[in-house]
Amino acid sequence: MEQASAALAEAPAEKIGLMGEMMVEAGKRFGHVKTATADGELLNALSERLLKLIAVKHPDEAPSWISIPASAYLDPAHFAREKAAIFDKMPMLACLSSDIADPGDYRRIQEFETPIIVTRTKKGEVKAFVNGCRHRGAALVYDDAGNSKGGFLCPYHGWAYTDEGELKGIACPEAFVGLDKKEHGLVQVPCEERHGLVFVSPRADAPLDLDSFLGPDLDRELALWEFDKVSGARSEPVVLKGNWKLVYDTFLESYHFAQAHKNNLATFYVPNVNTVDRFGLHQRIAVANRTLPDHVAAHAPEDRQLQDHLLIAYVLFPGIVLINSPQVLEVFRIFPQSVDTTIVQHSCYSKLPPEMNGTDGFFEMVWQSAHNIVMNEDFPFGVTTAHRALASGSIKELVFGTNELAIHNNYAVIEAAVG
């Protein structure tokens, strides 16, 4: 395995990737590596559309520009309606299957009002529970991830539960004569594992119907990417002072590439050119690598490696972003905490065979590059400073151009949900 360049290895962690050097390094190291990809029909269709858009230098477009009033980002009552209609009801991505690969593995979710544990049982099934003992409500796990070794033990009074959530032991049982253990297991939360993704409801009483939530077309596409085969996860929470919609909008257009990402993403991807496709609540956004026109021109259709020349993102409402590049799956999970505070869980996963991830910390640098770009060039511009300007009362509305179609779609979905 080729070692990372000396200059890259010696770069300060907070600067890695900002000048696009990680993209160059990845290209040198991997070249074309066959990884999970969508079917050729989809890639060809997206490539043909992108080539036409590149020729006219604009993306799929809305019929006109729109404006959104500042109150949509600032009004606590409006946020309360959004929370009740959207975030208290709709499923969220808890983790990927690889995050809880082995029996007993668990992930703790703290960003909902309901504290949740998602775990893999000895039977290999994924289950979710309220992270609260049925005795007096104490949390059972306090780490973000771990292995339960086959069950959960309350650290407060020692009540014990199986990995299926059944109450199996009570300390000082003579004090609870007549209590039915079968009725006092952990409270289950609806969850489902599909296509390498683990979805969970935000509340124990919120039903989960993934067939309806995803729809058949998106369900079919997600299956193509083999997210269950990713590895090498790296994740970090980001607390942002800004409304959740500002965070979401960050991922819905390539218009900002030319300016915000002029030293990195814009040198590899065509700015302000992207396709937008809706799947009910959700969207797919595809961006072309600058190499796409030459690659298509130089190769017969059967010889093209189109996945190496496209960036395809699936944006699942209300807060899941899956960004597919040839070697990396980048995941953002958006959790509103209040009208002006949002937590983003940012994760990276390798799509390469495990033996290609190397032992020189290269994947860590890939993660650091992606994280640095979003932390330095996306969230400050699109979220924190924008929210402060709105909160000042000086800016009464935000405007979105015809070239920001996916943002238009998103606000239409929000309006339909909230009413």
| 109 or 40, greater pLDDT | 109
Whether residue 232 has pLDDT greater than 90: no
| 1 contacts 358 by C-beta, under 8 angstroms | yes
Least confident stretch, 230-234, 244-248, 258-262: 230-234
pLDDT at 15: 72
pLDDT at 267: 94
pLDDT band at 23 (very low <50, low <70, confident <90, very high): low
Whether residue 57 has pLDDT greater than 70: yes
Tokens of 412: 């239409």
The predicted-structure confidence for 154-178, as pLDDT tens digits, reads as follows 999 999 999 999 999 999 999 999 9
Averaged pLDDT, 4-24? 63
Which of the 8 DSSP states describes residue 93? Answer: E
The predicted-structure confidence for 309-327, as pLDDT tens digits, reads as follows 999 999 999 999 999 988 8
DSSP strand E in 226-266: where? 231-240
Cα 193 to chain centroid distance, Å, stands at: 15
Least confident stretch, 23-32, 68-77, 103-112, 136-145: 23-32
The predicted-structure confidence for 70-106, as pLDDT tens digits, reads as follows 999 999 999 999 999 999 999 999 999 999 999 999 9
Amino acid sitting at position 414 = I
Any residues with CB less than 8 A from the CB of 270 and at least 6 apart, and which? Answer: 50, 54, 254, 287, 288, 289, 290, 292
CA distance 222 to 199: 13
pLDDT at 1: 36
pLDDT at 29: 57
Structural domains in the chain, CATH included, are 6-82+230-418 (3.30.530.20), 92-207 (2.102.10.10)
The predicted-structure confidence for 358-400, as pLDDT tens digits, reads as follows 545 778 888 899 999 999 999 999 999 999 999 999 999 999 9
Averaged pLDDT, 105-123? 97
Q: What is the mean pLDDT of the chain?
A: 92
Q: Concatenated DSSP letters for 289-355?
A: ETTHHHHHHHS-GGG--GGGGEEEEEEETTTEEEEE-SSEEEEEEEEEEETTEEEEEEEEEE-S-GG
Averaged pLDDT, 212-222? 97
pLDDT band at 2 (very low <50, low <70, confident <90, very high): very low
pLDDT at 26: 62
| 367 or 337, greater pLDDT | 337
CA distance 211 to 218: 10
Which residue in 263, 248, 367 sits closest to 313, CA to CA? Answer: 248
CA distance 126 to 191: 7
Angle formed at CA 64 by CA 59 and CA 69, multiple of 5 degrees = 110
